[in-house]
Amino acid sequence: MLYVIGLGLSDERDITVKGLEAVRSSERVYLESYTSILMVDKQRLEDFYGKEVTIAYRETVESCSDEILKDADKINVSFLVVGDPYGATTHTDLVIRARELGVPVKTIHNASIMNAIGATGLQLYAFGQTISMVFFTDSWRPDSFYDRVKENSAIGLHTLCLLDIKVREQSLENMIRNRLIYEPPRYMTVNEAVEQLLEIEEKRQENAYTKDTLAVGVSRVGSDDQIIRAGTLEQLLTVDFGKPLHSLVIVGHRLHLLEAEVLRENAVDLEGLNRILLRDYNIDK
């Protein structure tokens, strides 16, 4: 059996009982490490699971899936994914390859940022399309996400922005020279995401949002030290959200009274937020 197991969002204890039983029944355990990260190191997982854990980098999963699936028709193999296996990033290719090899597959789900973002107080059914934001470079500043935000905004829905992480990435020079030297990990912050959003709005000028648009920045959702802060995009530029991982929500105009109340609890500037709620949403305190 190939088990594809969601680990949840925070630490080694977030795995489900069913997931833990599957891990302990497996002869090999892999941890996918390139789409997200847990807030604890591999040793903590190994101590809790009682199993050795092998880090599965992008190239391992995408190019060497047969190594992961070796003998999985005879033994149990666990493939661990931060969050939910079919949350922000799917691993369909590995599942399809397993089935082609006649390996039974069982998925064990867990919390993902896609549902845990409800901790902001914003109602999940009021979210539209989720976007992913990548780090800009000097020569590559993609704005394809903008159209999705604009579509969500047009019908008043919130937009969840998933922020880029760079793990085990090579510089262009090292790639060209085929040198296996990797850059230090990078994790996009809420502040960097807002800077990029405002840059693209300045470029496009189609009013999908402005610097005065309400937004909610979050970090380390699901952990004991999670941060949730609500304010305008401009206000969030200077909020310190601390360690990764960060996410951002652009608030839609169909805001419920209960959603507004939770925004108040997490406001960067309560008086300013109340003025915006009254002016833009007709919600009085």
pLDDT of 34 reads 74
pLDDT reading at 180 higher than 80: no
pLDDT of 229 reads 98
Identify the CA nearest to 198 among candidates 158, 250, 152, 154. Answer: 250
- Which residues define the annotated binding site for S-adenosyl-L-methionine? 9, 84, 87, 112-113, 163, 221, 246
pLDDT reading at 254 higher than 70: yes
- Which residues define the annotated binding site? 9, 84, 87, 112-113, 163, 221, 246
pLDDT of 170 reads 62
Q: How confident is the model at residue 90 (pLDDT cuts 50, 70, 90)?
A: low
Average pLDDT over residues 187-199: 98
